[in-house]
Amino acid sequence: MKTLKSLGYLLTLPLILLAWWWIATSGAANFFVPTPAKLAETFIDTWMGEKLLTDVLPSVIRLVVGVLAAIVLGIGLGLAVGLNRTMRAVTEPVFEFFRALPPPVLVPVLMLLVGINDGMKIAVIISGCIWPVLLNTIEAVRSIDPVQNETSRSYGISGLSRIRYQVLPSATPTIMAGVRQCLSIGLILMVISEMFASSSGLGFTIVQFQRSFAVPEMWSGIVVLGLIGVALSFIFQWCERRVLRWYHGLKEVENAV
């Protein structure tokens, strides 16, 4: 009974929206919006075949490689800079500028510097995604609790073991917040870099559909991007819940007081 009720909450609104869409489009033929049935049909015809391997998969691989590299580099660099007060002060204005720079402007720059290839697209993703991770890591390391530091010191936990046992775990909540932003920027940059300069990939294909006025195909491409976004978000939430179980528990206890 209870599961039935939650299922109801889960599905009712999406079903209402779907029905509304279906009724709104089924009357007269609408050039801009296909019917749900037409979209579903186009979606399967367009993407559930060769295109999945030639366009979707390479895009997703570039995204994953870029985002992972940005996370690793961001955390590594963030630890190095964050643990050193002088380095923090020296880099702050420059990093502050790069944080504020809208990442899409990096696309034309890297097209010039790297050329138009896979390397450029990954470079765009890395150079746009690294900032939230980097700056959040620096901030997290800067604001580490001094009592935790003294605890580590008094028990002889120093150097790499201190980073492993104390600094990284205590910085994880803030780093994860950066990773979440990193993911959404990464997805934006994946699409943009392909729309801007490419002859394959998801972004390129969708723009091609739009240019040739293949409207249902274009919509199906939007659906693919949406699905990737939703999938990334779920994967992230799953990881976050595992990595930060302690943190959410701690917050709950603190908020209950």
Partner 1 sequence: MTEVVQERPRAKSLSRSPRVKSKGLPKPVLGLIGVLVFLALWELMPVLGIVKAKYLPPASEVLTALVADLGMTAFWVAVGETMTAWALGLAIAVVLGLVLGLVIGMSPFLRRFTNSTIEFLRPIPSVALIPLAVLLFGMKIESSLLLIVYACFWQVLIQVLYGVADVDNVAMQTARSYGFSYWQRVRDVVFPTMLPYLMTGIRLAASVALILAITAELLIGSPGLGNEITLAQSGGAIAGMYALILATGFLGVGINGVTRVVEKRVLSWHPSIRGEVTP
Partner 2 sequence: MQSNNPTSHAGGRTLPEGEALLSVRNLKKVYRTDAGDIEAVRNLTFDLGRGELVCLVGPSGSGKTTLLKCIAGLLGSTEGEVRLDGEVITGPPKKMAVVFQEYGRSLFPWLRVAENVELPLKNAGVPKAERKVLVEQALEAVGLAHVPKSYPWQLSGGMQQRVAIARAVAYQPEVLLMDEPFAAVDAQTRADLEDLIRSVWKKLGVTVLFVTHDIDESIYLGERVIILSSSPTVVQEDIVIDLPAERDQLETRSLPRFTELRHHVYAEIQKAKQGHRPEEAITMVVK
Q: Which does 206 bind (CB under 5 to 8 A by kind): partner 2, partner 1, none?
A: partner 1
Q: Does 143 bind partner 2 (CB under 8 A)?
A: no
Q: Exposure of 149 by Cβ count < 10 A (0-12 exposed, 13-18 middle, 19+ buried)?
A: middle
Rounded Cα distance between 201 and 116, Å, is 13
Q: What sections of the chain are H helices per DSSP? A: 2-26, 36-47, 50-51, 57-82, 85-100, 106-114, 118-142, 146-154, 159-162, 168-196, 202-211, 215-243, 245-256
Shortest Å distance, C-beta 92 to partner 2: 20
- Give the interface segment with partner 1, choosing from 7-15, 35-43, 44-52, 161-169 (CB under 8 A): 7-15
CA distances from 11 to 14, 199, 228 (A): 5, 39, 20
What are the structure tokens assigned to 110, written together?
A: 């890297």
- Contact pattern from residue 100 through residue 139 relative to partner 1, giving x for each residue in contact according to CB under 8 A and a dash for the rest: xxxxxx-xxx--xx-----------------xx--xx--x
Shortest Å distance, C-beta 178 to partner 2: 18
Q: Which does 74 bind (CB under 5 to 8 A by kind): partner 2, partner 1, none?
A: none
Q: Is the CB of 20 or the CB of 155 nearer to partner 2? A: 155
For tokens 């729309």, name the residue: 195
Q: Which does 155 bind (CB under 5 to 8 A by kind): partner 1, partner 2, none?
A: partner 2
What are the structure tokens assigned to 29, written together?
A: 């033929």
Which residues are at the interface with partner 2 (CB under 8 A)?
145, 147-148, 150-151, 153-157, 161, 165-166, 169-170, 172, 246-247, 249-250, 253-254
